[in-house]
Structure 1
Amino acid sequence: MQRRAFLATLAAAAATPRLSWADAGSPAYLAAARLPDGSYALHGLTVAGESLFGLPMPARGHAATAHPERPLAVAFARRPGTFALVIDCARGIETARLTPPEGRQFNGHGTFSADGAVLYTSEVIAEGSEGRIGLWDSDTWQRIGEMPTHGIGPHDIRRLPMSDDLLVANGGIRTDPTDRTKLNTDTMRPNLARIAPDGTLVAKAELPEGLRQNSTRHLALLPDGRAACAMQWEGDSAETPPLLALWQAGALAACPVPETEAVTMQNYAGSIAHSPETGEIALTSPRGGAVQVFAADGSFRASFRRADACGIAAGPGGFVVTDGNGAVLALTGSGLRPLASHTLNWDNHLIALERT
């Protein structure tokens, strides 16, 4: 009888469909926001900018990452962060809360391994800002290890296509662990590091000496194996260096823009995205209230003005943009077009869900 019951249980389990992103309404994007009452939430958005769900967060969020198959999102606190929430987007519940080990801080970003078994988190050792990648089992959410980022102050982290190698934007900035005061802008050396699953450094790319105060912050992967990097200038404010760089074969090259366009961005790129449909790359600047669009080779194409625009991701015909006033907009060759408006304040990033 016990054997028959066991086999019946197995059969029932096999017959029960596994929850997928369709059970969460098949959101196209994830975005953190501040609500009118001062609380925070993670939203799942459609391509048209409508909210499918808004799940509470204990404090301000930054970015999120989605499991490649299961309807799970991990939302990260704004750096220096002390929490990452694992959210079941189909059931609308928090299923786990990750806390970095003693002396570590989350740095706002993370990504999954190709099979979804491991979550990688961008972290720093609080004292000194030396970079670490935390490894977490995605079934138990237990920490299973860590490895170096081969740099200071890592921020964005992406898994390279068709591999489990990671590309990490080491921003180069050493910060005070309590108030984020920048401590080494005169000597900083940011880099992009390609790291194997065992923590081995595969390649490290730096900008030329004259641009070493350009902090490498956010990444967008291109289908040909390259990556685009958004930067934030920490040098003399009178200078207007490029804020976009392209990474290829372990080398990093800055992409200049006309001087008038460079001034508009106020030396700050908040987010970046690549559009597979158009092949273009776009940068946002909430400080400058602008979105810049580049060709795939890094040549400047156009600039569009939008107050407090920051979140950006690929969308139909180009990109989808969010701003700090609750708007969701389409960006195509003809310019920005409103899609939806919400009574909230979108945070820095709009995360496209890339599901298998």
Structure 2
Amino acid sequence: MTTRRGFLASLLAASTLPTLSWADAGSPAFLACAKEADGSYALYGITAGGADTFRIPLPARGHAGAGHPDRPEAVFFARRPGAYALVVDCAIGKVRHRLEPPEGRQFNGHGAFLQEGAILVTSEQMADGSAGRLGIWDADGGYLRIGELSTGGIGPHEVLLMADGRTLAVANGGIRTDATDRTKLNLPDMRPNLAYMTLEDGLVEQVSLQPDLHFNSIRHLATRDDGLLAFAMQWEGPAELAPPLLGLHRRGKPLTLAAAPEGEQVLMQNYAGSIAMNGAGTEIAITSPRGGRVQRFDASGQFIGALARADVCGAATLPDGFLLTDGMGGLLKLSEGRAHPLGLRARAWDNHVVGL
């Protein structure tokens, strides 16, 4: 029989067990999914210098995800429209949980932690009609689903936690899609918008593009500490046009759109696949795997340069620039307009790099 003294001793021992951190997973600065040379898929941890810190096999292609702020734990989503997300213990390479949205919902490839990692929110849409939802999950309680909120738009894609620690920015892409094959069903009438939300109040602010730019689907987001939000877009309108693919916004203000000079703008092929700000918040980069292009803008939206890089898409923040990945296994640092190779792997990096 357990004695009181033995019980208290066991409690003390449990309370002094070490808590795992990202150092136990090799101290990665970034997470990214990739397709291996043999056709399999994996999740990688990557240092700021481009070295691998861990490799964890995945059952299928991953899109993007979210890294827990403290625990060596990552949530990665199946390629949208996805029916599952995996919570991976990156220290031991084990899948801890498999998340599935409620009946009639689909994951849309992105999520974010808030409340110091206690809560996970997931970008979702209704399978019928593509109305946007934010799924709310109790991350500290075993990732139980505890609620959801309307995003106030159609086809939400990325969700991002703002610097205040409570406001979420949501990119409502505006596109209604078929539940099985992602066929776009409403392009003539699509209406993207940028939404700001909190768990307590739901939708607190929403801004839309001007009507003649309603074909510009808002997809991906980046922010800095003073609340400036940058967003990347993908044009679904007439192919011969080359509209701006970068937007900037501050709450309570109108949207500002930013374009490169005409010849350079055309090279993006109307598609921005990812976006990031540099560590100082003075530069914004958008990537185009279709155009093999990285464009750089200052924080006011002025074009400052471009880099040619085949199949480049992943972009993330470095203190003095950007980490970029491409579909041919390349990793490079972009700093002050100059590219510095960090390595070439026998794998195809997927669309996004998740910073920790």
Q: TM-score when scaled to structure 2? A: 0.97
Partner residue in 2 for 1:131: 132
Say if 1:147 and 1:199, in contact at 8 Å, map to a contact too. Answer: no
Query: After the TM superposition, which residues 326-341 of structure 1 pair with which residues of structure 2 at under 5 Å, given as runs?
Result: 326-341=329-344
Q: Residue 262 in 1 paired to residue 265 in 2?
A: yes
Query: After the TM superposition, which residues 33-182 of structure 1 pair with which residues of structure 2 at under 5 Å, given as runs?
Result: 33-138=34-139, 139-182=141-184
More displaced 10-residue stretch of structure 1: 282-291 or 256-265: 256-265
Q: Residue 228 in 1 paired to residue 235 in 2?
A: no
* Partners of 2:267 and 2:235 in 1: CA distance: 13
Give the C-alpha shift of residue 92 in structure 1: 1.3
Which ranges of structure 2 fall in alignment gaps of 5 or more residues?
none
* Partners of 2:271 and 2:336 in 1: CA distance: 23
Partner residue in 2 for 1:31: 32
Distance 1:80 1:199, change over 3 A: farther
* Partners of 2:195 and 2:319 in 1: CA distance: 31
Say if 1:63 and 1:349, in contact at 8 Å, map to a contact too. Answer: yes
* Partners of 2:220 and 2:138 in 1: CA distance: 25
Aligned counterpart in structure 1 of residue 194 of structure 2, from 165, 189, 192: 192
* Partners of 1:200 and 1:21 in 2: CA distance: 32
* Partners of 1:222 and 1:238 in 2: CA distance: 33
Q: Residue 281 in 1 paired to residue 284 in 2?
A: yes
Say if 1:170 and 1:192, in contact at 8 Å, map to a contact too. Answer: yes
* Partners of 2:68 and 2:165 in 1: CA distance: 16
More displaced 10-residue stretch of structure 1: 251-260 or 215-224: 251-260
| Identity percentage of aligned residues | 55
SS of structure 1 residue aligned to 2:188: coil
Give the aligned residue type for 1:120. V
SS of structure 2 residue aligned to 1:123: strand
Which ranges of structure 1 fall in alignment gaps of 5 or more residues?
none
Say if 2:224 and 2:281, in contact at 8 Å, map to a contact too. Answer: no
Give the C-alpha shift of residue 255 in structure 1: 1.1
Give the aligned residue type for 1:58. P
Aligned counterpart in structure 2 of residue 216 of structure 1, from 215, 218, 222: 218
Give the C-alpha shift of residue 252 in structure 1: 2.1
Give the aligned residue type for 2:121. Y
Give the aligned residue type for 2:169. L
Give the C-alpha shift of residue 223 in structure 1: 1.9
Give the C-alpha shift of residue 278 in structure 1: 5.9
* Partners of 1:80 and 1:74 in 2: CA distance: 16
Say if 2:63 and 2:76, in contact at 8 Å, map to a contact too. Answer: yes
Residue by residue over 1:94-146, the C-alpha shift from the partner in whole angstroms, topping out at 9 and shown as x without a partner, is 11111111111100000011321111000000111000111111131111111
RMSD: 1.2
Give the C-alpha shift of residue 316 in structure 1: 4.4
Give the C-alpha shift of residue 2 in structure 1: 2.6
Q: Residue 324 in 1 paired to residue 331 in 2?
A: no
Give the C-alpha shift of residue 256 in structure 1: 2.3
More displaced 10-residue stretch of structure 1: 238-247 or 110-119: 110-119
Greater than 2 Å deviation, 4+ residue runs: none
Give the C-alpha shift of residue 334 in structure 1: 4.3
Give the C-alpha shift of residue 317 in structure 1: 2.2
